[in-house]
Amino acid sequence: MSDEVFRGNFTQQEPIPEEAIEAAVAVMRSGRLHRYNVLPDEVGEVALLEEEFAAYTGAKYALAVASGGYALGCALRAVGVDTGDAVLTNAFTLAPVPGAIASVGARPIFVGVTDGLVIDLDDLQVKISESGARVLMLSHMRGHIVDMDALMYICNGAGVTVIEDCAHTMGATWDGVPSGRYGAVACYSTQTYKHINSGEGGLLVTDDDEVAVRAIMLSGSYMLYGAHTARPPVEVFEKVKYDTPNISGRMDHLRAAILRVQLRQLATQVDNWNARYRVVEEGLRDVAGLTLIERPQQEGFVGSSIQFLLLDWSDAQIEAVVSRCKARGVELKWFGAPEPVAFTSRYDSWRYADPQPLPESDSVLRAIVDMRLPLTFTLEDCALLARIIRDEVLRAGD
């Protein structure tokens, strides 16, 4: 075994493209940063981003907001979730998802995860009937997309409204359909570690008139909703404008300006991510004790991170892999860690939710090892990452 060390930085994204920097400078020179601060004949960067994102996803309506988490909370309110309601969601997800459910005073009901890292559809059926929940906040966690036709069949049959958390699937598809187009609403994040980067930011899409107008009002449009261009006709707003609270969470022109440029480059970036993913995946094939996640044919994923399983390994063995990889510069996240670490936590660490044992999911969750693949890594870097992980898995598994 060699002692190669990796020297890249797992949280280093690419610079913002020069064209986007110029667009941002133009916004700053104008002094008009607020989305409703536009000249009489000006549409503004935020509304243009909404139009372009609606066109990109094929949705009728789009709304840009302050963060992905804000979009999730806004979507829950817009579909009518109320205090005390049960809302189904994935046990395998990140903290802002159950957090959005808690933010509207609702109760997260966790649904198990399969060894393909998607929501367990059998458990979903059980939890729908046990909880009586009418809403599922479906998280495409780490970009793994469940069989959407099967999921929608279950949810439509049970009268369950689906909100899709597409924080890790912007640019991805299921069976050729852009991720976020199966549910009633979909939410995306433009936070630095996602697929387009404005520091913080979020987008929401829907085809539903009522949901769109409520979301726009909720986001803090005052009575300026007419300035939106990816919206239902103004008459629809008349019905809800007096009873929809303003829960301020708008996006500004500065962030929209840099996102518009990145959205145009997203397809190329997706190819760049997937090239890196495939190099790491190839390098980890046929490593004894390590299980790769085979991606379904219908899934057009974005390989901005990669996961593998160390099934039935002891905590000490997994910890050894993680710490030895770290010593060689490779940052792995272990979803089984008993204490929440950095961005990673698991469903039993969200103690504001009712305790919900999920023994079958626990054996999968405690086996999940996760690694980011920022585009600042070269293909050679990715081959090196795989060699180091392979070495350390073989060594700890001996």
Where does this chain bind ligand PLP (CB under 6 A)?
A: 67-69, 93-94, 96-97, 139, 141, 165, 167-168, 189, 191, 202
CB of 67 to ligand PLP, least distance (A): 4
* Rounded alpha-carbon distances, angstroms, from residue 300 to 133, 162, 170, 245, 347: 30, 20, 11, 38, 27
| Paired sense of beta strands 185-189 and 299-300, if any | unpaired
CB of 50: closest distance to ligand PLP in angstroms?
17
Q: Using the minimum distance from each CB to ligand PLP, give the nearer residue, 24 or 141.
A: 141
Q: Which is nearer to ligand PLP, 96 or 180 (CB)?
A: 96
To ligand PLP, the closest distance from the beta carbon of 16 in angstroms equals 17
Residue from 249, 235, 264 nearest 202 by CA: 249
Nearest Cα neighbor of 94 from 80, 108, 76 is 108
CB of 363 to ligand PLP, least distance (A): 22
For residue 66, how far is the Cα from the chain centroid? Answer: 15
Q: Tokens 């109320």 correspond to what residue? A: 82
> CB of residue 90 vs ligand PLP: minimum separation in angstroms?
9
Nearer to ligand PLP, 191 or 393 (CB): 191
Distance, in Å, from the CA atom of 3 to the CA atom of 291, rounded to the nearest integer, reads 24
Handedness of CA 346, 165, 111, 291 (dihedral sign): negative
Nearer to ligand PLP, 69 or 232 (CB): 69
CB of 383 to ligand PLP, least distance (A): 27
- The token pair at 35 is 């989305």
* CB closer to ligand PLP out of 96 and 171: 96
Give 109 or 163: the residue with its C-beta nearer to ligand PLP. 163
Secondary structure element (H or E) that encloses residue 263, with its range: helix 253-283
Residue 204 to residue 160: CA distance in whole angstroms = 19
Rounded least distance, CB 117 to ligand PLP, Å: 12
Q: 79 or 321: whose CB is closer to ligand PLP? A: 79
Q: Which residue is nearest to ligand PLP (CB)?
A: 68
Judged by DSSP in three states, 125 sits in helix
Cα–Cα distance, 260 to 43 (Å, whole number): 14
Q: How far apart are alpha carbons 185 and 106 in whole angstroms?
A: 18
Q: How many Å apart are CA 394 and CA 311, to the nearest integer? A: 14
Those residues whose C-beta lies under 8 Å from the C-beta of residue 314, and which sit 6 or more positions away, are none
Q: Locate tokens 């996961």: which residue?
A: 307
Report the residue number, 74 or 290, with the smaller CB distance to ligand PLP.
74
Maximal C-alpha separation, the chain: 70
Smallest distance from ligand PLP to CB 347, Å: 13
Q: Which among 321, 240, 283 is positioned nearest to 78, based on CA atoms?
A: 240
Q: Which is nearer to ligand PLP, 57 or 67 (CB)?
A: 67
Least Å from the CB of residue 233 to ligand PLP = 30
Provide Rg for the chain, Cα atoms: 21
